């Protein structure tokens, strides 16, 4: 487990959440907040976070939507412990089960209303980090089809998968949806006007039959280039990342 001296106490959603994270390990940032903002959970829903890390996405979601039943699956025991600690210190209930997405533990073989995931994105064979915990969180070890299949198996009919991933993984993700998931919609995450979108948000519904939709991008920053130390978020991105606003209207 992490020593307290090796952790930072980080603010999310302008301090509405305080999360312990390793100073030199994998650290959640904007992806977790965007993933939570895109999830269409409603009060009373059951939510499974595949590869929950320190719990950032689930807890950001719970900060917006009350009365959720949160469950996380995490293969690294030290991060699973952090997720439990972070839930408790923010006054939220979250069950965290240690295990692998490729072999979902029996304790999680029940239906959920929502499944969220932020799978590793760094290509296999590279060196994403010299720190093992961060490398495990970042580097692809399982095909994305395994993540999609695990989500499809855990969703009840009509339930939603919400996932954030690299844009280059989109063909594999779409190919993995059939036959259980449909009504897919993809939201490109564009850093600035005129820039390619390196990341995407994907939503798909178990048993959904609606046509595929490629949505207008969410632009995260204003201006043509980074300008000093200012974050320069667009108003919509600022509302999501700072105020916890939902991203649901983008998927309508």
Reported as a single tens digit per residue, the pLDDT across 79-125 is 999 999 999 999 999 999 999 999 999 999 999 999 999 999 656 55
Q: Which CATH number fits domain 31-219+229-251: 3.40.50.150, 1.20.1250.20, 3.40.50.720, 3.40.50.20?
A: 3.40.50.150
Contact indicator for 57, 247 with CB cutoff of 8 Å = no
Token readout for 214 is 């490629």
> Per-domain residue ranges for the chain?
31-219+229-251
What's the confidence (pLDDT) of residue 138? 43
What's the confidence (pLDDT) of residue 231? 73
Q: Write the CB contacts of 17 (distance below 8 Å, at least 6 apart in sequence).
A: 11, 56, 59, 60, 63, 86, 90
* CA-closest candidate to residue 84, choices 49, 117, 38: 49
What's the confidence (pLDDT) of residue 59? 98
Q: Tell me how crowded residue 1 is: count the other CB atoms within 10 A of its CB.
A: 11
What's the confidence (pLDDT) of residue 140? 46
Contact indicator for 189, 217 with CB cutoff of 8 Å = yes
Q: Which residues of the chain have pLDDT under 70?
A: 121-140, 226-230
**pTM (two decimals):** 0.91
């Amino acid at each position: 487990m992490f020593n307290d001296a090796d952790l930072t106490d980080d603010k999310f959603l302008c301090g509405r959440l305080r999360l312990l994270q390793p100073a030199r390990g994998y650290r959640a940032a904007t992806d977790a907040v965007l993933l939570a903002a895109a999830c269409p959970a409603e009060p009373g829903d059951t939510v499974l976070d595949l590869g929950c890390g320190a719990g950032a996405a689930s807890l950001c979601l719970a900060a917006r939507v009350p009365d959720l039943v949160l469950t996380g699956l995490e293969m690294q025991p030290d991060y699973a412990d952090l997720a439990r600690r972070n839930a408790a210190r923010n006054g939220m209930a979250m069950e965290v089960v240690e295990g692998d997405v490729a072999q979902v533990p029996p304790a999680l073989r029940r239906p959920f209303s929502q499944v969220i995931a932020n799978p590793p994105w760094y290509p296999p064979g590279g060196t994403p980090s010299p720190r093992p915990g961060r490398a495990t969180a970042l580097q692809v070890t399982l095909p994305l089809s395994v993540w999609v299949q695990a989500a499809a198996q855990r969703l009840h009919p009509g339930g939603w998968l919400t996932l954030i991933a690299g844009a280059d993984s989109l063909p594999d993700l779409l190919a993995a949806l059939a036959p259980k998931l449909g009504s897919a919609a993809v939201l490109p995450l564009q850093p600035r006007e005129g820039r390619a979108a390196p990341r995407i948000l994907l939503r798909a519904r178990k048993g959904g039959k609606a046509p595929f939709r490629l949505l207008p991008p969410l632009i995260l920053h204003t201006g043509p280039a980074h300008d000093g130390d200012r974050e320069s978020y667009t108003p919509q991105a600022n509302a999501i990342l700072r105020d916890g606003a939902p991203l649901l209207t983008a998927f309508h």
